[in-house]
Amino acid sequence: MILTLALVMLAALVLYAVLAGADFGGGAWDLFAAGPRAKAQRELVSHALAPVWEANHVWLILIVVILFTAFPPAFAALMTALHAPLMLMLAGIVMRGSAFVFRQYGKSGNEMWGRVFAVASTVTPVFLGMALGAMSTGGAWHGVFPLCVGLFSLSLFAMVAAVFLTVEAPERALQDDFRLRALGAAIVSAALAAVTAFVAPRPFVPLPAAASSVVLGAALLGALWLRRYGAARPLAVALVTLVVIGWGYGQYPYLLVPNVTLHAVAAPEPTLRLLLPTLGLGALVLFPSLFWLMRVFKTVGR
Amino acid sequence: MTEPLFARGQMAYSLAFHIVFAAVGIAMPLMMVLAEVMWLRTKDDGWLTLAKRWMKGTAVFFAVGAVSGTVLSFELGLLFPSFMEKAGAVIGMPFSLEGFAFFTEAIFLGLYFYGWKQLKPWVHVACGVVVAASGALSALFVTLVNAWMNTPCCMEPIDPLGAMVTPFAFHEVVHGTLAAYMATAFAVAAIHAWQLLEKPGDPFHLKALTIALVVAVPTALVQPLAGHHAGQVVAVHQPMKLAALEGHVKTGPRAPIHLGPVDIPGGLSFLAFNDFDAVVKGLEEIPQADWPHPIVRLSWLAMVALGTLAAAWAALTALLVWRNNRQLPRDRRWLWATVLLGPAGYIALEAGWVVTEVGRQPWVIYGVLRTHDAVTPVTGLWAPFAGFAVIYAGLAGVVAKVLYDQVKAT
Ligand code: HDD
Ligand code: HEM
Ligand code: HEM
């Protein structure tokens, strides 16, 4: 039961990294919008985010809720050890969401809110990554390793966002802009992954995972090169999934290295026994609705 | 200030900030759906315009509500880790259910806001109904958590389902949800009444005012009754909170109630226990250091005064509409009263929460865990306190400006 709940949290983290990650990455591409089509790039990002970003960010809340319900002492320990990066991440989350709607619905200052949205979208994933990285270093969050995880998260999110945007772009030129960006971000991500693995405090990523991520990464680069966007999208999703699962595997059985393990901090049986079916029932409502939302607003296939 | 004060202060203003957006998120979907249904039934495009205008304003509130709520769910642990360590397993249930309510709300919100073209009209209305219902559900679940903090139970042995139905649950959910509808409807009514003062007879604002009144009048009439019931439950389970509300020091029978200069002997005993001779406990029962802060009594007086005033206005409005053959009153004095009462609902709502939360002190889990013992050991809490205070103050200003511009554009 404990392991199942941990896996549910990991799955939610995968979904957060893919869906909300793409939203953050989109904001980063707003910041780095350039060239003759800079305005069109920003509009595409905004159009892609608007209907879904609030739903996408609920995955984070779900993770937090499961964490404090199923592993209350771990929640307390994490919130104490990671106090600073999490506060910074929250400030980023608040500014990102607020600036996005102010730009969309306000009458004045839209330029400035666009900037705020873009900057907040870019720094927030770094703090998120630093917090995740610090879970492996006993809470020390300003070392080289957490910083690498933070930058890696940003580049990974930017990569997914660019791949998704190639599929959603209404015209060839814009598609090509994001193709180049996706290629660039994929290469930067690979480099950062190598550095991160090198500075990791202990052998982290299991060899099979590392090997398959190399294969997936190569396939992704190939698909982008050949403009096979329909194939690139699932490959990018698979790559992020693999990275998050690899992180979870490396972290197991610790929530906070070196002394908070999953089993030591689980909530009493009755709570766990109730939580699982609740999550199951919730999923029955959640997934069909989410699927419908994506069907209505997202380009399927192509 | 000391570290615990920074933590409590940050928690307090985060909640006070969030609750405004949450209340808008609970009540506005209902009013938008009402407007849209009127459009589908009458084919009068004015109703559609109204639904869309309201939607634009509400979108901003939704987003800020969602991000400030996210901050709260972390802050519970960032500021009060030992509270969550003790409470997490017990009250995680309503929080998890709330999580799914948020999901449903956010998903259908996306469909409702952006699906005007893609969805069939009645499917679109149905999405709005789901948003309205899941907004109310999230409030219900999170309020159950607060009820448990006030009347904790079910910890040994642990019983997460039992913890959802504590003695405070019923009145907090009823009185608190009514407050969200009432406060929002009062504010909306005031905005459109103000516009009607400038543009008398404007059909758009008349439509908006009609729907606002449909929500504002009944909730304002019922709210004092719900509040009275809340007071009676408080009298039984948190006698010291009641004593703080009334500034009642000496334990004894036939406790009086003070109405300005007049004392009604036995009045408090009667209101609290339906019996003029009942014994009401006074603050002398606990050490003076544990007496709740005087702001509890001030907030209490503000809530009751505004609630009474609002109920009187609602009764008058109902009378005027009835005498006027179901037409809205056009009297400028009535419009002015409506404008002036606009903030009353929100002030009462904030005041009511101060009563509940500060009145619970020095406990975070009543009688179980002291707030002081729950504060995080992290130091330097002035920094996040100041940082978020600046952010929230700025956001409040911008939201007000965006809303003002939107109203002016109508
Ligand atoms: C529109 C807002 C509003 C209005 C007009 C009133 N209240 Fe209220 N009150 C609230 C909004 C509110 C609230 C913010 O929603 C609270 C905080 C917690 C809760 O359950 O409701 C609350 C709490 C609250 C409590 C404390 C309950 C507790 O500690 O659990 C009492 C005793 C009352 N109220 C009583 C009244 C009375 C006698 C009113 C008569 C006019 C009244 N309220 C009007
Ligand atoms: C400790 C207290 C609270 C916590 C931890 C909390 C948490 C949250 C979170 C995480 C969200 C964001 C969900 C999303 O993405 O849409 C949210 C939004 C919301 N909260 Fe709270 N909340 C608290 C208090 C309250 C209270 C007191 C109410 C109402 C009585 C409330 C009602 C809502 C509603 C209706 C939303 C939906 C978003 C919106 O309408 O803008 N919350 N809350
Ligand atoms: C329904 C969900 C709510 C929950 C779970 C909740 C929880 C908490 C917690 C954990 C604290 C900190 C510990 C303490 O000081 O006792 C607190 C304090 C406080 N809350 Fe709430 N709260 C809720 C709703 C609200 C709302 C809507 C307001 C709006 C004004 C509010 C106002 C305050 C204030 C003023 C304090 C500081 C009290 C003090 O330290 O003197 N609460 N609440």
Atom of ligand 3 nearest to the CA of B172: 1
Return the residue in B10, B100, B113, B388 with the most chain A beta carbons within 10 A, the one to mutate for interface testing. B100
Structure tokens that stand for A294 in this block = 């994506």
Ligand nearest to the CA of B184: 1
The answer to whether A61 contacts B73, with C-beta atoms less than 8 Å apart, is yes
Q: What is the pLDDT of residues A96-144, one digit of tens each?
A: 999 999 998 887 778 899 999 999 999 999 999 999 988 888 778 888 9
* pLDDT tier for residue A203 given thresholds of 50, 70 and 90: low
The sign of the dihedral angle between the CA atoms of B347, B353, B356, B358 is negative
From CA B109, how far away is CA B113, in angstroms rounded? 6
The model's confidence at residue A302, banded by pLDDT at 50, 70 and 90, is very low
Q: Which of A76, A98, A275 sits opposite B63 (nearest CB)?
A: A98
Q: How much is the pLDDT for B406?
A: 87
- Atom 36 (ligand 1) nearest CA: B227
List, for residues A242-278, the tens digit of each pLDDT value.
Answer: 999 888 888 888 888 878 888 888 888 888 888 999 9
B143 close to ligand 2 (CB < 6 Angstrom): yes
Mutate to test the interface with A, among B85, B107, B117, B385 (most CBs of A within 10 A): B107
Longest dimension (CA), chain B: 67
How much is the ipTM here?
A: 0.91
| Smallest CA–CA distance from A58 into chain B, residue | B103
- What token pair was written down for A84? 């600073």
Please tell me the distance in Å from A276's CA to the nearest CA on chain B.
Answer: 10
Closest CA to A96 of B68, B101, B382, B73: B68
To the nearest whole Å, the CA of B121 is away from the closest chain A CA by 15
pLDDT digits (tens), chain B, 410 positions: 789 999 999 999 999 999 999 999 999 999 999 999 999 999 999 999 999 999 988 889 999 999 999 999 999 999 999 999 989 999 989 999 998 999 899 899 989 998 898 899 999 999 999 999 999 999 999 999 999 999 999 888 888 888 899 999 999 999 999 999 999 999 999 999 999 999 998 999 999 999 999 999 999 999 999 999 999 999 999 999 999 998 888 888 888 888 777 888 888 888 888 888 888 888 988 888 888 889 999 999 999 999 999 999 999 999 999 998 888 888 899 999 999 999 999 999 999 999 999 999 889 999 899 999 999 999 899 999 999 999 999 999 999 999 998 888 87
Q: Which of chain A's residues have a Cβ under 8 Å away from the Cβ of B84? A: 68, 72, 75-76, 79
Question: Average pLDDT, whole number, for chain A?
Answer: 89
Give the tens place of pLDDT for each residue, A141-173. 888 999 999 999 999 999 999 999 999 888 888
Structure tokens at B94: 């309503």
Q: Which single residue is written with the structure tokens 């995955």?
A: A59
| Residue B287 backbone dihedrals phi, psi, to 5 degrees | -60, 145
Q: Which of A55, A91, A271 sits opposite B391 (nearest CB)?
A: A91
User: In chain A, what residues touch B154 (CB-CB under 8 Å)?
Assistant: none
B143 lines ligand 3 (CB under 6 A): yes
Q: Is B119 in the pocket of ligand 3 (CB under 6 A)?
A: no
What domains can you pick out in chain A, each with its CATH number? 2-297 (1.20.1630)
Closest-lying ligand 2 atom to the alpha carbon of residue B180: 30
User: B63 and A100 in contact by Cβ < 8 A?
Assistant: yes
Q: Decide if pLDDT at A300 tops 60.
A: no
The pTM of this model reads: 0.93
- How big is the CA angle at A126 (ends A10 and A190), to the nearest 5 degrees? 75
A136 contacts A204 by C-beta, under 8 angstroms: yes
Q: Which of B66, B74, B95 sits opposite A86 (nearest CB)?
A: B74
Of residues A43, A90, A85, A6, the one with CA closest to residue A261: A6
SS (H, E, C) chain B: CCHHHHHHHHHHHHHHHHHHHHHHHHHHHHHHHHHHHHHHHHCCHHHHHHHHHHHHHHHHHHHHHHHHHHHHHHHHHHHCHHHHHHHHHHHHHHHHHHHHHHHHHHHHHHHHHHCCCCCCHHHHHHHHHHHHHHHHHHHHHHHHHHHHHHCCCCCCCCCCCHHHCCCCHHHHHHHHHHHHHHHHHHHHHHHHHHHHHHCCCCHHHHHHHHHHHHHHHHHHHHHHHHHHHHHHHHHHHCHHHHHHHHCCCCCEECCCEEECCEEECCHHHHHHHCCCCCEECCHHHCCHHHCCCCHHHHHHHHHHHHHHHHHHHHHHHHHHHHHCCCCCCCCHHHHHHHHHCCCHHHHHHHHHHHHHHHCCCCEEECCCEEHHHHCCCCCCCHHHHHHHHHHHHHHHHHHHHHHHHHHHCC
State how far the Cα of A33 lies from the Cα of B75, in Å rounded to an integer. Answer: 34
Contact in structure between B56 and B399 (CB atoms under 8 Å): no
- What pLDDT sits at residue A301? 40
CA of A92 to the centre of ligand 3 (A): 23
pLDDT at residue number A108: 78
User: Residue A94: which pLDDT band, with cuts at 50, 70 and 90?
Assistant: very high
B274 contact partners, CB below 8 Å, separation of at least 6:
B232
Whether the pLDDT of residue A93 is over 90: the answer is yes
> Is B361 touching ligand 3 by the criterion CB < 6 Å?
yes
In degrees and rounded to multiples of 5, residue B183 shows phi and psi of -60, -45
Q: B146: Cβ below 6 Å to ligand 3?
A: yes
- In angstroms, rounded to a whole number, what is the distance separating the alpha carbons of residues A264 and A253? 10
Q: Which residues of A touch B106 (CB under 8 A)?
A: 54-55, 57-58
Beta bridge partners of B369: B365
